[in-house]
Amino acid sequence: KKNPVKAAADKVVEKVQDAVDPGNEIPGAPGPVPPPVDEPTEPTGPLPPKPDQHGPETVSPTGQPTGAEQARMAQSGAYLTTAQGARLYDTDHSLKAGARGPVLLQDHHLREKITHFDHERIPERVVHARGAAAHGVFQAYGTAAPVSKAAFLAKGVETPVFVRFSTVLGSRGSADTVRDTRGFATKFYTEEGVFDLVGNNIPVFFIQDAIKFPDVIHAGKPHPDREIPQAQSAHDTFWDFVTLHTEATHHTLWNMSDRGIPRSYRMMEGFGVHTFRLVNAEGDSTLVKFHWKPKLGVHSLVWEEAQIAAGVDPDFHRRDLADAIEAGAFPQWELGIQTFPDTPEQNFAGIDLLDPTKIVPEEMAPVQPIGLLTLNANPSNYFAETEQVAFHLGHLVPGIDVTDDPLLQGRLFSYLDTQLTRLGGPNFGQLPINRTHAPVNDMLRDGMHQTAVHRGVAPYRPNSLDGGCPFLAGEDTGAFVEVPAEVAASVKERKAPASFDDHFSQPRLFWLSMTPTEREHIIAAYTFELGKCYEQAIKERALTVLANIDSELCAQVAAGLGLPAPAAGARVTDPAPSPALSQLGRAWPLDGRIVGIVADAHADLDGVRSVRQAVLDAGMVPLVIAPAGGTIGPDDDPVTVQRTFTTARSIEFDALLIAGAPAPGADGYGARDAKVDDGAAVAVGIDPRILLLVAEAFRHGKAIGAWAAGLEILEAAGIGSDVPGVVTADDAAAALDGLTDLLAHHRAWERFTPAV
């Protein structure tokens, strides 16, 4: 009788023989073998590479040449191998004692494959876990040169950058469009080392001292017992904290404004929040606040739209950024600075520049543009780049220094510390995405995940064995030297300056700077969020905080909650409003805006074709929406359908153009019949999914255009042609014309009468 183990072993040899290159005989293997017949799943040979598949990378993701050593570490070769490079003939079957037998511990390939998989995840960021990123370039205008000697700020210098946008509270898999602050972190790979500008889309913060960061985050994160709600501030612990701790009022107000639900990462401002200190070649220092100004303007979603998106497309912002870059609609921001004299008081027009809950209105200190950021490439690998990128406020270059803002000082500790855990040790700076483009000679050695092979015997200073190298630089050879800012003689104490006690004048400034539409949104946001709280005492306390901002705001939220409004708080003189804080009232470029074109086979397809081209020509994205996928129209000149009535939801579109006719029949809008009691079919007319699409777009203030038979859809949706933001026209071109003008203002807010 044949030994089953021997038979199985023979089989393996046969398969190996079969899989190896012809002519590459395995020594000692039996002679010619017949092809195996009884294996259900044979390994297939490698597929030919796709045109856009690369061979082994020889540059790092940031474009830095990495040399032969790095190239050897990248994936290469056509054959599947073990991690050690041994070729494999099968990766679909465990090594077993017979086809139906137990799996053998000996199977090193199985163990390597599963073990690596088991360890694929790293801890997510404790905050800002959910993010999306892109590569780009920063081009300096040179206008910062008088105040900073940073080489990358000199005129015309181009610096590669990597930017990561994020939400704060949610886990890695949470939805993009939740109400939250957004992170805006930029890594500049300058010739003098990495500079990280780790900012947010809101210019102030909840707390004035880093020691309270665990408190505010514990309050905002899901409740510790049931771990709900995910990525929300609409719950008791958040409102408990921010109402007991009124220095959070200003940031909370920004969160409740439209800034908390951006339309796109491409349409967000960014702020360094803290005051930084720049120093020029002469050693003169200037205090500054950093601003990123998006070329596409600052735009937001409306709350219902954000909520729908969180379900329909939780990757809304991530997708938007990647799609725009892939389509060549590269988003751009201008970096700007507000400058203030570096006086011992560190105060500008009565505003304490070390207090991160305060802004300086742009009308008082204009934002001066110093360079242009263009995001022009998507990451190739989410984990290697977006997940492993490590930002740190301490990544500074000569010409940029920090101030004594106590929030900033604590952050200087936190980022490096958190990365030790998150990235598994002290060598994360060697990861391609984190690697500086400047030469490194740091005498840091060994540690977990050390990938460099250091040469030399003397990683210490002074030494004589490595020729004394590395040498110390001086200011004339590009050393980073801290600005010798004076520290006033003082005592050690746990205390904040008296100016930090003013918690309400700037929330009031923000409120007074809002348009009626924006105020209405703020009222609705507070009413929603507090309405989600269970504790009555928290709602009542929140109203007393709102009374300190504005009595109308307080009264309206109180009415929404069904609670009495407390009396207005004591108020000193009102600050002058800052129109720059409002998002509304200006026209912006249309690049990358998405126009949905609703059509069916009976629509004016010539109009659809021409309007689609015109939308493209205007730098926007046309998406044809039809009853079913594929194409509509004649076979010799079909119109390609990008979205169907099933896959299209209003949140995807910035504007709608309606071309179709409600024709009965399988391919028309009127395809739906309803059965009534006696079994007879009654036509219900236009497909309700289109009516929902149009009604939602209308409710969310979006521009809607219709021509020819499309007008019937508007009528069926109950939308009059004389309503603001609705364009009815005789032909497609005229409909689009009216639409683009409206789109430049983002939404037709004048459609609604604000409640305040």
Task: Tell whether residue 164 is among the known ligand binding residues.
Answer: yes
Helix (H) or strand (E) holding 752: none
Which of 95, 217 has the CB closer to ligand HDE? 217
Q: Is 689 labeled as ligand-binding?
A: no
Residues 410-429 that bind ligand HDE (CB under 6 A): 410-411, 414-415, 418-419
| Catalytic, out of 109, 135, 200, 503 | 200
528 is an interface residue for ligand HDE by CB under 6 A: no
Stretch in the footprint of ligand HDE (CB under 6 A) among 125-133, 226-234, 289-297, 603-611: 125-133
Segment lying near ligand HDE (by CB under 6 A), choices 387-395, 675-683, 701-709, 724-732: 387-395
126 touches ligand HDE (CB under 6 A): yes
**Of 61, 136, 170, 183, which one interacts with ligand HDE (CB under 6 A)?**
183
- CA dihedral 610→613→614→620, nearest 10 degrees, is 140
Tokens in use for 644? 């169907």
DSSP element (H, E) containing 129: none
CB 709 within 8 A of CB 664: no
End-to-end CA distance of the chain: 93
Mark the segment that binds ligand HDE (CB under 6 A) among 120-128, 295-303, 371-379, 629-637: 120-128
Of 17, 62, 131, 686, the one binding ligand HDE by CB under 6 A: 131
Residues 536-555 that bind ligand HDE (CB under 6 A): none
User: 213 labelled as ligand-binding?
Assistant: yes
Q: Is the Cβ of residue 16 or residue 126 nearer to ligand HDE in the bound state?
A: 126
Least distance to ligand HDE, CB of residue 126, Å? 5
Piece of the chain touching ligand HDE by CB under 6 A; list 193-201, 373-381, 669-677, 715-723 = 193-201
CA distances from residue 581 to 257, 296, 514, 523 in whole angstroms, order as listed: 11, 16, 7, 17
Nearer to ligand HDE, 391 or 504 (CB): 391
Cβ nearer to ligand HDE, comparing 143 with 414 = 414
Structure tokens at 301: 């979603």
- CB neighbour class for 715 (10 Å; exposed up to 12, middle 13-18, buried from 19): middle
Using the contact rule CB under 6 A, the part of the chain among 53-61, 124-132, 479-487, 560-568 near ligand HDE is 124-132
The Cβ of residue 18 has, within 10 Å, a number of other Cβ atoms equal to 14
Q: Which H or E element spans position 748? A: none
- Residue 411 annotated as binding? yes
- Non-local (6+) Cβ contacts of 58 within 8 A are 65, 66, 67, 70, 71, 74
Question: In whole angstroms, how close is the CB of 317 to ligand HDE at the nearest point?
Answer: 14
Number of residues that bind ligand HDE (CB under 6 A): 26
Helices (H), 629-709: 688-699
Residue with smaller CB distance to ligand HDE, 170 or 607: 170
Task: Sort strands 655-658 and 594-598 into parallel, antiparallel or unpaired.
Answer: parallel
Segment near ligand HDE (CB under 6 A); pick from 137-145, 196-204, 455-463, 575-583 = 196-204
- Residue whose CB is less far from ligand HDE, 314 or 406: 406
Among 541, 540, 544, 543, which residue's Cα sits nearest to residue 570? 544
Nearer to ligand HDE, 198 or 641 (CB): 198
User: In 601-627, which positions are buried (b, 16+ CB within 10 angstroms) versus exposed (e)?
Assistant: bbbbbebbbebbebbeebebbbbbbbb
Q: How far apart are CA 364 and CA 147, in angstroms?
A: 19
Rounded to whole angstroms, the Cα distance separating 410 from 358 reads: 18
Q: Establish if 125 lies at the interface with ligand HDE (CB under 6 A).
A: yes
In whole angstroms, what is the distance from residue 42 CA to residue 39 CA? 6
When binding is defined by CB under 6 A, the residue of 213, 239, 500, 526 that contacts ligand HDE is: 213
Distance in Å, CB of 242 to ligand HDE, minimum? 15
Residue 410 in tokens: 């604590």
Residues paired with 372 in a beta bridge: 139, 334
Q: Which of 17, 62, 70, 128 binds ligand HDE (CB under 6 A)?
A: 128
Q: Which is nearer to ligand HDE, 94 or 414 (CB)?
A: 414
Task: Tell me the H-state helices in 142-248.
Answer: 213-220, 236-244
SS3 content of the chain, % helix, strand, coil (to 5): 30, 15, 55
Task: Rule CB under 6 A: say whether 200 interacts with ligand HDE.
Answer: yes
By C-alpha distance, which of 333, 335, 338, 357 is closest to 348? 338
Please identify which residue in 140, 144, 157, 185 interacts with ligand HDE, judged by CB under 6 A: 185
- Give the residue nearest to ligand HDE (CB): 183
Region near ligand HDE per CB under 6 A, out of 368-376, 388-396, 549-557, 586-594 = 388-396
Residue 642 lies near ligand HDE (rule: CB under 6 A): no
Query: Is 100 labelled a binding residue?
Result: no
- Is it true that the peptide bond before 516 is cis, omega within 30 degrees of 0? no
273, 204 Cβ separation under 8 angstroms? yes
Distance, in Å, from the CA atom of 323 to the CA atom of 330, rounded to the nearest integer, reads 10
Contact pick of 290, 391, 653, 669 for ligand HDE (by CB under 6 A) = 391
DSSP secondary structure of 225-236: TT--STT-S-SH
Token pair belonging to 16 = 């190996």
Cβ–Cβ < 8 Å for 223, 270: no
Whether residue 361 contacts residue 116, with contact meaning beta carbons closer than 8 Å, is answered with no
Give the separation between CA 76 and CA 85, rounded to whole angstroms.
Answer: 10
In the complex, least distance from residue 182 CB atom to ligand HDE, rounded to whole angstroms: 8
200 part of the active site: yes
The site map against ligand HDE for 158-177 (x = CB under 6 A) is: ------x-x-----------
Site for ligand HDE contains 379 (CB under 6 A): no
Q: How far is the CB of 271 from ligand HDE (least distance, A)?
A: 7
Nearer to ligand HDE among residue 222 and residue 459 (C-beta): 222
Q: Give the x/- contact pattern for ligand HDE in 266-285, rule: CB under 6 A.
A: -------x------------
**Residue 24 known to be catalytic:** no
Residue 670's identity, in one-letter code, is G
Given 128, 135, 250, 437, the catalytic residue: 128
> Is residue 607 a contact partner of residue 659, using CB atoms and an 8 Å limit?
yes
Q: Residues 148, 280: contact at Cβ < 8 Å?
A: yes
| Residue for token pair 């990462």 | 265
Nearer to ligand HDE, 196 or 604 (CB): 196
- Using CB under 6 A as the binding rule, the residues of this chain from 392 to 411 that contact ligand HDE are 407, 410-411
Q: Does 593 appear as a known binding residue?
A: no
Indicate which residues carry an active-site annotation.
128, 200
Binding site for heme: which residues?
125, 164, 213, 411, 415, 422
List of residues contacting ligand HDE (CB under 6 A): 125-128, 131, 164, 166, 183, 185, 198-200, 205, 210, 213, 273, 389-391, 407, 410-411, 414-415, 418-419
Binding site: which residues?
125, 164, 213, 411, 415, 422
